Structure 1
């Protein structure tokens, strides 16, 4: 079980490094506009909280996370000019090696946003008399 976990952690690190390399390649001014457009769509989808297929749908919900996104990353890697890809990978490796501990306070911001959204929804429902007793 320990070996399985170590393999998965290594794969996740590698995938994270590849996505970082794609982000760096996107920012490269030598990249043609059509590659930039492809990377923009892929990276937007990768970092978007909205999925093509909602995760609440059993089995199929994780299809985009486990199949579509990795295939998109593979396609982007295959289509990028080799020189830009290698430079971006080298810069991503360097950045990952020098990575400092990150501030993980963003989760609190997201939770606060969702909490305020729920409170606002309850307030709207109470004003519309959909909640009995109000």
Structure 2
């Protein structure tokens, strides 16, 4: 049971790296790049759409939404690009994921602004 889950998680991780690499490829159409960037940003984001501490629903995005996003993004990318990215993704998995502090900071900033905006709206609503 746990070996199946580990294999599924490892495959999901490889697919995320493939999308990360495909986003940088000039052979990928612009609309696929936009969707792929959103999926990769959400996958690497430390903040989930539904927080994990909420029972059952907290893991819904990790188990259903993220794999669906990956599946749709992979269908948008040309097959030759995917085959090139698969080889590079396997190599990246051996070396570890790339660390881009600027993008990570940008993701945290965007989520912070969304939370601040929602807080201000809620405050205005109740006052």
**Normalising by structure 1, what TM-score?**
0.65
3-state DSSP of counterpart to 1:85:
helix
Distance 1:50 1:77, change over 3 A: same
Mark the runs of 5 or more structure 2 residues left unpaired by the alignment.
Answer: 98-127
Aligned residue in 1 for 2:41: 44
What CA distance in whole angstroms lies between the structure 2 residues aligned with 1:8 and 1:61? 18
3-state DSSP of counterpart to 2:89:
helix
Measure how far apart 1:100 and its partner are: 4.4
Aligned residues: 97
Q: Which has the higher contact order (CA 8 A, sep 6+)?
A: 2
Q: Which has the higher helix share?
A: 2
Partner of residue 6 from structure 1, selected from 3, 24, 27: 3
Mark the runs of 5 or more structure 1 residues left unpaired by the alignment.
Answer: 103-134
Aligned residue in 2 for 1:23: 20
Distance 1:29 1:101, change over 3 A: closer
Q: Deviations over 1:20-63 (max 9, x none)?
A: 11111111122121111111111111111111111122111111
| Larger-gyration structure (1/2) | 1
CA RMSD of aligned residues (A): 1.8
